[in-house]
Every structure is written in C-alpha cells, then in structure tokens.
C-alpha cells in the first residue's frame, strides 16, 4: 500500500506540473523525499538524474515505466501470498502439523484407560479387587512425501509386559496395494482388529485366546472393487495362540491373511451398507524347541476376568510339532444404532510329549455379540458416532448403549489324554457379559460390564474331576482418547 501511494504521489506531481506548464525540477532534496517515500519510484528516478524540465513525451514514458514497475511489484506480492505454509490443527482427531499440500503431516494422539476389576464371588479373597492403569498410550502418526506413513504407539502402563503396541511404517502405493513393515495386528481375528478405544466390551471375548494378537513382519493390504472388498496378507514370526510375535524361537514363519466383503456398501439401502463378512486364516511356524523353555504353545487360555491361573494350560512336558493352522469365518452388521458381531475361530496344532506321545489337536471358540445405542446414534465397526456431546446446560447427555455377549471356548478332548491335566485345566469355558456404555463425547466414555463364566472340569482330583469355580466379575473403565 505504501508503495502504491508513493507511485500515486509521483504521478500526480508530474502531471500537475505538466498541466501548469511548469518545469519540474528534480532537486537533490526532492529526490531524497521520493526515495524515502517509494523505493519503486527510486528505481525510475535515480538521484543522478539531472534537474531538467519534463516534456509531454517524458511524462508519458515515465507513467508507462511506473506502471510496469507497479505491475512487477504486484506480481511479486501475489507470488509471496500464494506460497504454501504449514497448517496447525487441533480437533477431535488429535493435534496435527500439516504442510499446505498435505504431503507431510505429524499427528499427536494418545489414550488412557483406567480400569476397575471386582471379583464378586471371591469369598477367600484370593484375587484382589483393584483400580489400575490398563493403557497409557502416546502415539505419533506421520506422513512424508505423500506416500510413506508411519505409526508409533507405546503402552506405558505398568500393568503390561511390553511397552509396544503398534509400531510400523508403510508405503501407501495405491488403494489396492500398500506395503507394511513392523509390529501390527494380523488379519485373523475380527474382534482383535478393533481398536480398544471403540470396543463395546471392556475385555475381549474368549475367542481372542485362539488368535494371534500381534506379529512382527511384513505385509500388504488394500481395498478393491470400489471399496466392496478389503484384504490383508502378512508374513511374520508367527505367535502362539493369544500371543505376540515379538521374538522367534525357530526359523519357521507364519503366513496370515484376511478377505472381507461389504456387498451392500454402495447400495441405496442404508441399513445394509455396514453388513460385512469374511474369512481370516494363518498357517506356519508352530514347532517348539524344548518343553520347559520354548514349547511353541500358549502359556494358557484366560477367562473373561483374567482370573489366575489360566483355565487351560499344557503340561510341562509338551511341545508343539509341525505347523499351526487357524481359520476364522466372521460377520458383522451395523444397521443404524444396532450392532451385531459373530466370529468363529479354530486353531489346529500337533503336539507331543517327552515320552513321544503325539496328537493332532483342534481347539475351537466362537462368540455372538450385540448392542443397541439407546439414544439413536449411529454405530459402526469404528465405534459410535455421537450426535450430541454432553452439555448439561443444553440438556444433552451424550450417547448411551447397552450391550450383551455370549462366547465359548472348547478344548479338544484328546488334549486330556497325555497333554493336559483334567483336574487343573477345564475342557470348556462359557461366558456371558452384559454392559452399559456412556459416551460423553468422541474423546471420553465410561463403561461398566458384568461378566459370568462357567467351566467344565478344571478342579477336583484325578479320581474325581470337578468343575472349576464359576466366576462373577464387575469391570469398569474410563477412557480418554484423542
């Protein structure tokens, strides 16, 4: 603006002098004033210019030169204004620093889960009721050069054995093909793939005992068919049932994968758009090396309440042999405020004892879970979409959901011939869970669950096997995530 005003002063002065027929002396004093007022004019009228009269032709040339210089300055100003700059964002998806073109970003995310566990039929006080930090997870979400994405999520809660959750990077080549390397969830279990921040239940079902929770390796994933199909395929260390593949005991590796279909995603009927079904599976590296130290088998199947000891575990002289195979047909449906999830998992593994007794064992588990958001908010695999955040002054109380689930795990009967002890390990666990969830806003929710689990076997003596004591537990959780 200052430059434009300086140009205007110069042009008006010259024109006024021309109209009046006066000479226009350009004294050193005048030149100094113009240089101070407008650097642009200074480019045209240097101090060395002699103080002579300005004729008609000189004025026209001067005006033309001034206009050219003004156009150059305006062009430079527009170029400066058009240059991209970083964008700082803060919203319900976290805090982010982004480049203007979107090819680079750094997002800061995190969550905190404060749990309460209360065992209602523990008259002998063998298990302590407690509040504790279940998850304290800072996370960084990074994108560089538009295609290379990284995710680092730690778990700093003192109750977990490892400080890592998901740690991976990937090359986002296209919707159809993306390469991933690091520690991530295999595509076998449906419920396990859900983020713990959006789970309808505080604890996952008995089914999760049979699926690999995390694995370390490399994989590909993507979507095709206009979003109707999504897939994942990975090659990794190969965790035991309910385990993580953070380290490897043998040279054998696992292949795991998943294909999931949303047949009505692009249809006109909204209540069918979130209906999907698929199949997850894994095969490979099941052999152990030593019964006592590296058996290649699960350390034990846990109940819904994680009551120690595990309700099933192998004897100390058993080791895995050959490959391990899992398969899991799965289904979900989210019509509006209603949710339904059905999942089945079978895990087949050959085992042997130090006495060379061998067996091919297949353990099975399944679950059916349902929920209803009483306030009518839409729910999905990624959680409840809250219509109104809590605001008592406005009479808004967030979203409320009721949920229920039945899950069951059955151990292969042949396991109790030589590989597990029937009065220490149960043949079957059946769990019922009911709960109420209160979503105050997308970042905060309260959950309360009542869990009831019955067992077949797992107590008594070799002469008289009895059922393990049933479990009745009350769980609470407060979740803060951003």
Predicted confidence (pLDDT) per residue in 18-35, tens digit: 444 444 444 444 343 333
Structure confidence at residue 85 (pLDDT):
74
Q: What is the mean pLDDT of residues 324-340?
A: 98
Range from 91-95, 165-169, 414-418 carrying the lowest mean pLDDT: 91-95
Segment 134-156, tens digit of pLDDT: 999 999 999 999 999 999 999 99
Judge residue 351's burial from the number of C-beta atoms within 10 Å of its C-beta, 0-12 exposed, 13-18 middle, 19 or more buried.
buried
Q: What is the mean pLDDT of residues 276-290?
A: 88
Q: Which sign, positive or negative, has the C-alpha torsion 379, 380, 383, 386?
A: negative
User: Tokens in use for 357?
Assistant: 């007794």
Q: What is the DSSP letter of 61?
A: H
Structure confidence at residue 25 (pLDDT):
44
Structure confidence at residue 27 (pLDDT):
43
Per the prediction, the chain carries an average pLDDT of 88
Answer with the residue of higher pLDDT: 73 or 208: 208
From the list 370, 373, 433, 380, the residue with the least C-alpha distance to 397 is 373
**pLDDT of 53 over the 70 cut:** no
Q: What is the pTM of this model?
A: 0.82
Q: How many CB atoms lie within 10 A of CB 16?
A: 11
Answer with the residue of higher pLDDT: 52 or 358: 358
Q: What is the mean pLDDT of residues 403-407?
A: 98
Q: What is the mean pLDDT of residues 170-183?
A: 98
Range from 48-52, 231-235, 330-334, 472-476 carrying the lowest mean pLDDT: 48-52
8 Å CB contact between 190 and 210: no
Give domain 111-137+180-481's CATH number out of 1.10.569.10, 2.40.160.10, 2.60.120.200, 3.90.1150.150: 2.40.160.10
**pLDDT of 375 over the 70 cut:** yes
**pLDDT of 315 over the 90 cut:** yes
For residues 18-32, one letter each, b for 16 or more C-beta atoms within 10 angstroms of the residue's C-beta and e for the rest, the string is beeeeebebeeeebe
Structure confidence at residue 409 (pLDDT):
98
Structure confidence at residue 19 (pLDDT):
43
Q: How confident is the model at residue 232 (pLDDT cuts 50, 70, 90)?
A: very high
How far apart are the C-alpha atoms of 262 and 380, rounded to whole Å? Answer: 13
Q: What is the mean pLDDT of residues 170-180?
A: 98
**pLDDT of 44 over the 50 cut:** no
In this prediction, what percent of the chain has a pLDDT beyond 70? Answer: 87
Phi, psi at 441, each rounded to 5° = -165, 180
**pLDDT of 306 over the 80 cut:** no
Whole-number Cα distances in Å, 105 to 163, 165, 174? 25, 21, 19
Ranges for all domains in the chain classified under CATH 2.40.160.10: 111-137+180-481
For residues 199-211, one letter each, b for 16 or more C-beta atoms within 10 angstroms of the residue's C-beta and e for the rest, the string is bbbbbbbbbbbbb
How far apart are the C-alpha atoms of 309 and 22, rounded to whole Å? Answer: 108
Q: Which sign, positive or negative, has the C-alpha torsion 264, 266, 269, 273?
A: positive
Segment 239-265, tens digit of pLDDT: 999 998 777 767 889 999 999 999 999
Q: How confident is the model at residue 43 (pLDDT cuts 50, 70, 90)?
A: very low
The DSSP bridge partners found for residue 184 are 215
Structure confidence at residue 292 (pLDDT):
62
Q: How confident is the model at residue 444 (pLDDT cuts 50, 70, 90)?
A: very high
How far apart are the C-alpha atoms of 371 and 384, rounded to whole Å? Answer: 11
């Amino acid at each position: 603006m200052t430059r434009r005003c300086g140009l205007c002063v110069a042009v008006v002065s010259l024109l006024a002098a021309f109209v009046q027929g006066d000479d226009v002396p350009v004294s050193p004093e005048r030149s100094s004033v113009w240089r101070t007022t407008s650097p642009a004019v200074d480019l045209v009228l240097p101090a060395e210019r002699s103080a002579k009269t300005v004729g008609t032709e000189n004025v026209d040339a001067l005006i033309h030169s001034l206009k050219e210089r003004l156009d150059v300055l305006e062009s430079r100003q527009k170029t400066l204004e058009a240059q991209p700059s970083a964008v700082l964002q803060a919203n319900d998806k976290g805090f982010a620093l982004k480049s203007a073109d979107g090819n680079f970003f750094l997002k800061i995310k995190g969550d905190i889960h404060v749990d309460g566990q209360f065992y209602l039929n523990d008259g002998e006080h063998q298990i302590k009721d407690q509040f504790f930090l279940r998850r304290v997870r800072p996370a960084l979400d990074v994108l560089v050069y538009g295609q290379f994405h990284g995710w680092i999520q730690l778990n700093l809660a003192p109750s977990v054995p490892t400080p890592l959750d998901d740690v991976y990077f990937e090359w986002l080549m296209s919707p159809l093909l993306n390469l991933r390397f690091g520690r991530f969830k295999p595509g076998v279990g449906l419920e396990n793939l859900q983020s713990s921040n959006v789970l309808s239940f505080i604890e996952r079902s008995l089914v999760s005992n049979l699926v690999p929770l995390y694995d370390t390796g490399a994989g590909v994933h993507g979507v095709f068919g206009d979003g109707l199909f999504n897939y994942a395929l990975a090659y990794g260390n190969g965790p035991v049932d309910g385990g993580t593949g953070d380290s490897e005991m043998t040279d054998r590796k696992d292949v795991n994968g998943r294909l999931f279909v949303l047949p009505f995603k692009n249809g006109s009927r909204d209540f069918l758009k979130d209906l999907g079904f698929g199949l997850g599976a894994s095969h490979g590296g099941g052999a152990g090396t030593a019964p006592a130290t590296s058996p290649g088998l699960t350390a034990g199947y846990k109940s819904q309440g994680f009551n120690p000891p595990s309700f099933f575990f192998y004897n100390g002289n058993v080791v895995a042999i050959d490959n391990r195979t899992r398969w899991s047909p799965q289904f979900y449906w989210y019509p509006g405020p209603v949710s339904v999830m059905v999942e089945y998992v079978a895990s087949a593994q050959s085992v042997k004892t130090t006495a060379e007794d061998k067996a091919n064992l297949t353990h099975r588990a399944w679950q059916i879970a349902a929920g209803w958001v009483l306030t009518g908010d839409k729910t999905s695999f990624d959680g409840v979409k809250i219509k109104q955040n809590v605001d008592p002054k406005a009479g808004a109380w967030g979203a409320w959901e009721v949920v229920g689930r039945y899950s069951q795990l059955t151990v292969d009967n042949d396991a109790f011939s030589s590989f597990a002890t029937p009065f220490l390990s149960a043949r079957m666990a059946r769990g019922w869970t009911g709960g109420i969830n209160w979503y105050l806003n997308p970042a905060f929710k309260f959950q309360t669950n009542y869990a009831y689990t019955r067992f077949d076997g797992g107590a008594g003596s070799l002469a008289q096997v009895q059922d393990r004591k049933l479990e009745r537990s009350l769980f609470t959780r407060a979740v803060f995530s951003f």
